[in-house]
Structure 1
């Protein structure tokens, strides 16, 4: 199925489910769904790729599952609320964000310039929990933090990827929403990644899509890794931090290198 046919399929499904809805076609293969004063945008690129990976018998079910939260919101003409979060705490996960992104959402400080934020994952979209939502949950932020960590360790831990064997550069770049979060698995479960906790390891979290771990302490290799990290920080729409951190015995601390 080509993109145009997929666009038609998605449009027909939405309008069949919510006949009063309006659909607008946006640039870059996206749509806007609107009912009343409520509207929400959906980029179709990942949706389309996921659809193409399904067998023909499962494609209709896949479309229904992806669009279900959007259909729900359109019908009630409002977005995610605290009750949605309360009913789906098993799908609350942590995301590592930088200082700028942490301003209007509920966070727990991880290190200087690094914060743990919390999202309700609804498949093709995530909803950041803000402080008013957490207050309405009648659950402490510390409890939300622990729930998110437990869910993360249950569902989202992945093996370290080898980026550059010669230079000893490892990290995470799986292309999903939670690559920055996987710093937490290095902190909480270093043994799962075969990491020694007896010496500090330089690490960078330049954006939500990558974590860089420098296993070699050779200065020339470190320099190259840091150049990659800082470039990724400057040229990404979801920057986290351009700083270098030190991962050591379950702590993350910013460090200043002598060179």
Structure 2
């Protein structure tokens, strides 16, 4: 099945399940589902890849399982609420975002322009937890932070990847929702990546899809690495920060270098 046929198949399934809903095609291989005043966007890229990996006999079941939470929300014409968060508290995770994305949601600052947001992960979609939701749950920001970190270190940690061995560039780029959040493992658990707690490492988090760590002692290599990080920030749909940071002994600070 090609991509356009898959998009049409998904749209037809949604319309069959929720006949009064509306479907709009989006650029970059996505759709928008709408019913009443409620709408939600779905990127089809990973959905399509997962579909192609299924045995033909299992593909219809796969579509129904992935779309089930979207169908539920369309029928009630609203997204998740504090009851959903409470029932799925083990699926609340931290997400590193930039200052431009923090309006109206619960966040904890890491630096002046790096923040931990908190999301409920529902498989193919994530929902940012808002202040009203936290109030309804009767828990503090510090409590949601500790819950999210516990869940994150249980489910979402990954080993460092080698991006450029010659220039000693490492980092995270696994293609899921939590690559930027893996900065937290460098801050809180550096030893799990073979980094002594006392060692200073330079880090960039240009967008949600990549974290860059620079190990080279050569100034020319570091300058080139910073250029790569800043170019990854520009024109990205999920920018975080173009700044260079340093991490040491569980503390992250904006670097004064360059």
TM-score for the superposition, normalised by structure 1 = 0.94
Is this contact kept in 2: 1:34–1:40, CA < 8 A? yes
Q: Is it true that 1:8 corresponds to 2:8 in the alignment? A: yes
**1:60 offset after TM fit, Å?**
2.0
Q: Is it true that 1:168 corresponds to 2:174 in the alignment? A: no
Task: Provide the C-alpha distance between the structure 2 equivalents of 1:248 and 1:225, rounded to a whole number of angstroms.
Answer: 19
Task: Provide the C-alpha distance between the structure 2 equivalents of 1:225 and 1:88, rounded to a whole number of angstroms.
Answer: 40
Kindly report which structure 2 residues correspond to 1:191-202, keeping only aligned pairs within 5 A, or say none.
191-202=191-202
Task: Provide the C-alpha distance between the structure 2 equivalents of 1:24 and 1:234, rounded to a whole number of angstroms.
Answer: 28
Task: Provide the C-alpha distance between the structure 1 equivalents of 2:142 and 2:198, rounded to a whole number of angstroms.
Answer: 29
Task: Provide the C-alpha distance between the structure 2 equivalents of 1:86 and 1:236, rounded to a whole number of angstroms.
Answer: 33
Task: Provide the C-alpha distance between the structure 1 equivalents of 2:111 and 2:27, rounded to a whole number of angstroms.
Answer: 38
Task: Provide the C-alpha distance between the structure 2 equivalents of 1:223 and 1:26, rounded to a whole number of angstroms.
Answer: 38
Worse-matched range after superposition: 14-23 or 51-60: 14-23
In structure 2, the partner of 1:128 is: 128
Task: Provide the C-alpha distance between the structure 2 equivalents of 1:130 and 1:124, rounded to a whole number of angstroms.
Answer: 20
Task: Provide the C-alpha distance between the structure 1 equivalents of 2:237 and 2:11, rounded to a whole number of angstroms.
Answer: 28
Task: Provide the C-alpha distance between the structure 2 equivalents of 1:165 and 1:124, rounded to a whole number of angstroms.
Answer: 33
In structure 2, the partner of 1:225 is: 225
Kindly report which structure 2 residues correspond to 1:177-256, keeping only aligned pairs within 5 A, or say none.
177-256=177-256
Change (3 A) 1:54 1:141: same
Worse-matched range after superposition: 9-18 or 217-226: 9-18
Task: Provide the C-alpha distance between the structure 2 equivalents of 1:22 and 1:245, rounded to a whole number of angstroms.
Answer: 45
Worse-matched range after superposition: 86-95 or 196-205: 196-205
**1:250 offset after TM fit, Å?**
1.0
Is there any run of 5+ residues in structure 2 with no aligned partner, and where?
A: none
In structure 1, the partner of 2:102 is: 102
Worse-matched range after superposition: 215-224 or 22-31: 22-31
Task: Provide the C-alpha distance between the structure 2 equivalents of 1:242 and 1:157, rounded to a whole number of angstroms.
Answer: 23
Count of aligned positions: 258
Task: Provide the C-alpha distance between the structure 2 equivalents of 1:40 and 1:63, rounded to a whole number of angstroms.
Answer: 17
Deviations 1:214-245 (A, max 9, x none): 11221111111111111112231211111111
Is this contact kept in 2: 1:112–1:253, CA < 8 A? no
Kindly report which structure 2 residues correspond to 1:5-84, keeping only aligned pairs within 5 A, or say none.
5-84=5-84
**1:22 offset after TM fit, Å?**
2.9
Change (3 A) 1:21 1:149: same
Change (3 A) 1:196 1:23: same
Task: Provide the C-alpha distance between the structure 2 equivalents of 1:200 and 1:222, rounded to a whole number of angstroms.
Answer: 14
Worse-matched range after superposition: 12-21 or 180-189: 12-21
Task: Provide the C-alpha distance between the structure 2 equivalents of 1:16 and 1:103, rounded to a whole number of angstroms.
Answer: 36
Change (3 A) 1:99 1:45: same
Equivalent residue of 2:102, what SS?
Answer: helix
Equivalent residue of 1:256, what SS?
Answer: coil
Equivalent residue of 1:252, what SS?
Answer: strand
**1:41 offset after TM fit, Å?**
2.4
Is there any run of 5+ residues in structure 1 with no aligned partner, and where?
A: none
